[in-house]
Amino acid sequence: MTAFTRAIVRPPAANFAQGLTSVDLGKPDVSLALEQHARYCAALEQCGLALTRLPADARFADSTFVEDTAIVTDRCAILTRPGAASRAGEVAAIEPVLRGKFERTHAIVAPGTVDGGDICQAGNHFFIGISERTNAEGARQLATILEQEGFTSAAIDIRGVDGILHLKSGISCLGDNRLVLIDALAARAEFRSCEIVRIAAEESYAANFLRINESVIVSAGFPQFESRVRKFGYPLIALDMSEFRKMDGALSCLSLRF
Ligand code: CIR
């Protein structure tokens, strides 16, 4: 399991509620989102991470979801090319920050598109979701870059899987060769070499969580999943994510961890 020491975060801007969403959970309360974001940052610090806190950026209503702008590894950073037109400028905003922290940076170029939320790392292997945001050309470019850097990867087509925006809305790596999956993805051959932990249908939002060093950060309100994580023996931190969920966001989207 990669040891993480740092993370990059950006709080929601005043126009956060004007971002993209495909769910019908009502408008987010920006001041509550800011409180939830502050607790999220405190949880990352509790897990041992030093944070780079970028300023809120109201030019892009979705810019708090920094995960989508890059894939960061222990070898390099890869700037993405987000699939939603309204988010395209977010990469230029984060690029100088990443160039200052990584010796090598790569970039996805047109006509490829990749959202970081579609990329799930499991050790030295990456699952690359092909979605409404990440296209086949973006996935191909990313696989080539990852191979140059000594990683392996597999593409997972999630178009047509109901209720998930990104691959990581339905899968997270628990570490120790365990993958947590929603039912719709659990039978895919690409995951067979891992121990599969299935998420109950009514708890599918919990499939996006963070394993950071020894700890696991989960979304609050999913008791079956919480008790499974506790049984595996991982220290657990549960965070209320209600306002980010209203905008299709979850735990992983709010940071770049490396
Ligand atoms: C969007 O639709 O792009 C944002 N409202 C949510 C992005 C969530 N990001 C992620 O899962 N990595």
CATH code of 27's domain: 3.75.10.10
Q: Does the Cβ of 21 fall within 6 Å of ligand 1?
A: yes
Q: Write the CB contacts of 122 (distance below 8 Å, at least 6 apart in sequence).
A: 173, 177, 179, 194
Q: Does the Cβ of 68 fall within 6 Å of ligand 1?
A: yes
pLDDT value of residue 139: 98
194, part of any domain: yes
Residue 247 has pLDDT above 90, yes or no: yes
Q: Does the Cβ of 117 fall within 6 Å of ligand 1?
A: yes
Q: How far is the CA of 184 from the centre of ligand 1 (A)?
A: 20
pLDDT band of 124, cuts 50, 70, 90: very high
CB atoms within 10 A of CB 188: 17
pLDDT in tens, 38-56: 999 999 999 999 999 999 9
- Cβ distance 36 to 240 under 8 Å? yes
In this prediction the pTM is 0.97
Note if 37 is an active site residue.
Answer: no
Name the residue range of residue 44's domain.
6-257
Pick the more confident residue, 219 or 2.
Answer: 219
1, part of any domain: no
120, part of any domain: yes
135, part of any domain: yes
230, part of any domain: yes
Handedness of CA 17, 80, 72, 144 (dihedral sign): positive
Overall domain count for the chain = 1
Q: How far is the CA of 253 from the centre of ligand 1 (A)?
A: 7
Whose alpha carbon is nearest atom 8 of ligand 1? 249
16, part of any domain: yes
**Residue recorded with tokens 């598109």:** 113
Q: Does the Cβ of 19 fall within 6 Å of ligand 1?
A: yes
104, part of any domain: yes
Note if 166 is an active site residue.
Answer: yes
